[in-house]
Amino acid sequence: MVKIRNIELGEFPLLLAPMEDVSDPPFRALCKKHGADLMYTEFISSEGLIRDAAKSVQKMDIYAYERPVGIQIFGYDIDSMREATKIIEKTNPDIIDINFGCPVKKVTCKGAGAGMLQDIPKLIRMTDEIVKATNIPVTVKTRLGWDDKTKFVVSTAEKLQDVGVEAISIHGRTRVQLYKGDADWTLIGEVKNNPRMHIPIFGNGDIDSPEKAMLYKNRYGIDGIMIGRASIGNPWFFNEVKHFMATGNHLAAPSIKDRVEATLDHLMMSVEWKGINLALAEMKRHYTNYFKGIAHFKEYRTQLVTSNDLQEITELLHWIKDNESQFQLVIPVD
């Protein structure tokens, strides 16, 4: 049983990665429904929380059905991160996660996110202060290093554990790589198999099939897998991985009806949580993913992404569901 303090996550947990503008409460609800064991919020700016910025505060919204759930923060100033931790603590998340992995330039140029990988001593001091500031378990998400010359993740993980971090998720790329090339899991395996380490180590990067999840579990011995991009438009991926690991067989791909119902759920929860205008705008990025792999669907996808009328969109989605037989899945199905 993998545990973060007293939080039981199962024998081999699957985690939903914190993804900006993706892993909000509506999307997390779908991932939880379809097998995610632990989820994290979108990353939240410590400076935004301190300033009481509406967007940052809203990102702290968590609900009982999602638990266990972690709130992730990022920042470059230790005092601000400590103060943000106290603000987050009031919302009673199960976990507080520190982002040392975001590679986006507007974050790293300020020394936050993966930018902290250029100053490991400060990274450790910041983590130590956050752990001391709260009674909630603290976890970390990070990368192998800043670049190929600074892949210090094995020693950094030891130091993070020494200051009280209770689990670490590692993306198998450097910051310089961004999301290019293949994720290198060999160092993730070294962290997990380091005899000094006793906290859970989760691997992240390029897990896009149940087969690969099984292979990496067996090859690197990690405690669980954090899934990011493979879940976008595909919240079923968590249960697909679990089913394959348990049986060696694939679940049938979600039907047109399944896809429409998930899209409708996502849309209506988004409208309720963030308001109709923002929900309609932000759902456009999801339609393509929900209906990926369907032949002759371009016309309907275009209507979905160009319409700004909620009734028009919902009527079209119901029509697609009612006329499911007109569409053909072209993705492989076992």
- Report, as residue numbers or ranges, the catalytic residues: 102
Q: Which residues contact 149 (CB under 8 A, 6 or more apart)?
A: none
CB 175 within 8 A of CB 103: yes
CA 197 → CA 2, 70, 189, 222, distances in Å?
14, 22, 11, 12
CA 211 → CA 76, 114, 140, 264, distances in Å?
38, 29, 27, 30
Q: Which of 41, 137, 43, 150 is nearest to 94 (CA)?
A: 137
Query: Rounded to 5 degrees, what angle do the CA atoms 269, 271, 277 make?
Result: 155
Q: Exposed, middle or buried: residue 160 (CB in 10 Å: 0-12, 13-18, 19+)?
A: buried
Helix extents (H) in 94-152: 105-108, 120-133
Beta strand 168-171 with 7-8 is unpaired
CB 128 within 8 A of CB 164: yes
What DSSP assignment string belongs to 231-251? GTT-TTHHHHHHHHHHHSSPP
The answer, yes or no, to whether the previous bond of 68 is cis (omega within 30 of 0) is yes
Whole-number Å distance between alpha carbons of 64 and 84: 22
**Beta strand spans in the chain (E):** 3-4, 7-8, 14-16, 38-40, 44-45, 69-74, 95-100, 138-143, 168-171, 201-204, 224-227, 294-295, 328-329
Q: Which residues contact 208 (CB under 8 A, 6 or more apart)?
A: 229, 230
